[in-house]
Structure 1
Amino acid sequence: MTFFNNKMQRNFVWLPIVGMLVFVVFYVIAIMQYSGGSYVYPNQAGFNFKTNYLCDLLNVQTINGLQNTARTYARLALATLCFSLILLWIYLPKLFTVKSKAQKIMRTAGILAMTITLFLASDVHDIVLRIAGVFGTIALIIAIVELYIDRYTLLFVLGIICLILFLTNYYIYETELLLDTLPLIQKITFIFCIFWFMLLNRALYKKLHRRL
């Protein structure tokens, strides 16, 4: 029975990576479908990586006032990403050799962050972003500390970079200092964090594989 459960976990744990790849595909489709407009240039054509936020793709209407045909793909992308990362946070404590109460807090905070993020397309976008950001920060900090304790050096360093990028986004968003750089920084953060999560997922798979 233990062998069967471990084998199931090892196979199941690949799903977050699949989900993250599906997220990228859906968001690329959404970007191609977006008719145009940003807060800086309301009449621009199409999606601009330097001026559009990823959240622009979730709105009912584009900023130039047209119906947003990208919305369905963007919402599917968001849902896929959130459920994928929820699954990753559920399994992530299995990566660490020594178990601790902090890992349970990490798991809970990570699950709450991604569950709340599901409501990012609602009318309370800013509130959702702030609450999810608090839980996400807690989960990230604990994960980084646990990676350091377990001597996952590369994942620890990359996690620090992810945290810095994440907090930089939050700082600019709240202070509006260098706000014109935020759309581009947001995308760099997304790419880097997804890459880090994939590496975490890979390390988790290898750890479960060694247990068989």
Structure 2
Amino acid sequence: MNWNTTHEKPKALLIPILGMLLFVFFIIKAASLYPGGSQYSSTEEGFSFLNNYLCDLLDSTTFNGSPNPSKDLARLALFLLCSCLTVLWYYLPKLFKRKGVHLVVIRVTGISAMIITLFLSSNSHDLVIYIAGLIGLIAMITTIVALYKEGYQELFALGIFCLAILLLNYYIYESGLLITVLPAIQKITFVSFIGWFALLNISLYRKMRTTKNVQ
């Protein structure tokens, strides 16, 4: 596979940044429309940072049984996020100088995880989480190792943090230990990942732009 950046357009990497910004905007708007109800209290009003998962915004009905007016915006936000990150995962191998099969792994697993995540609003939510999580974990670990080998220390450190907090999510979810704080940890995880993806995207954009100017 040819990883040469000669004919690539670095402007394509503006798409992930725009998509992530739109995701944040629409998910906040969706949360503002959420009528209320959580797994802890069906009578709770509005979207709770401490008690509601972001996935609650995708459901057709809330925990109190009423229609969920936030679902369309939340699903749009999810589509935008997965679509824009698909672009990032496609180009991400170009960040690295060392060629090898690991670059194929990064691209294929990263894109696959995003495509599978699109089905979060289906009735197979837990299955989607497990499959996308496993494939995404492979993409993450491969990327983190490549970052370490090529001296991207800050991106490597943030990647390790994201990996650790992701594993913490899974541990809490499976063990039930401290399960009441998981909704809050989930949101911290999202913010951390978006920050990491944004920095990866910026670093890649700068490299591709520099390479294009040199050529």
TM-score for the superposition, normalised by structure 1: 0.96
| AA matched with 1:194 | I
Residues 63-104 of structure 1 show CA distances to partners (whole Å, capped at 9, x for unaligned) of 111110000000000000001111110000000011110111
Residues 158-184 of structure 1 show CA distances to partners (whole Å, capped at 9, x for unaligned) of 000000011111111112111101000
Residues 22-80 of structure 1 show CA distances to partners (whole Å, capped at 9, x for unaligned) of 00001011000000000011110000000000000000001111110000000000000
Contact map agreement 2:37 2:43 (CA 8 A) in 1? yes
Partners of 1:99 and 1:207 lie apart in 2 by 16
Quote the offset at 1:4 in angstroms.
Answer: 7.7
User: Does residue 82 of the first structure (1) align with residue 72 of the second (2)?
Assistant: no
Query: Secondary structure of 2:171's match?
Result: helix
Match of 1:65 in 2: 65
Partners of 1:4 and 1:106 lie apart in 2 by 21
After TM superposition, where is structure 1 displaced by more than 6 Å over at least 4 residues in a row?
none
Match of 1:130 in 2: 130
Match of 1:161 in 2: 161
| AA matched with 2:117 | T
| AA matched with 1:60 | S
Distance 1:143 1:3, change over 3 A: closer
Query: Secondary structure of 1:40's match?
Result: coil
| AA matched with 2:27 | Y
**1:139-178 alignment, distance < 5 Å:** 139-178=139-178
TM-score for the superposition, normalised by structure 2: 0.95
Match of 1:106 in 2: 106
Distance 1:46 1:149, change over 3 A: same
Distance 1:156 1:3, change over 3 A: closer
Percent identical pairs in the alignment equals 49
Quote the offset at 1:106 in angstroms.
Answer: 1.5
Match of 1:5 in 2: 7
User: Does residue 17 of the first structure (1) align with residue 30 of the second (2)?
Assistant: no
Quote the offset at 1:3 in angstroms.
Answer: 9.0
Which structure 2 segments of 5+ residues have no match?
Answer: none
Task: Tell me the number of residue pairs that the alignment of Structure 1 and Structure 2 aligns.
Answer: 209
Quote the offset at 1:5 in angstroms.
Answer: 2.6
Distance 1:3 1:31, change over 3 A: closer
Contact map agreement 2:30 2:74 (CA 8 A) in 1? yes
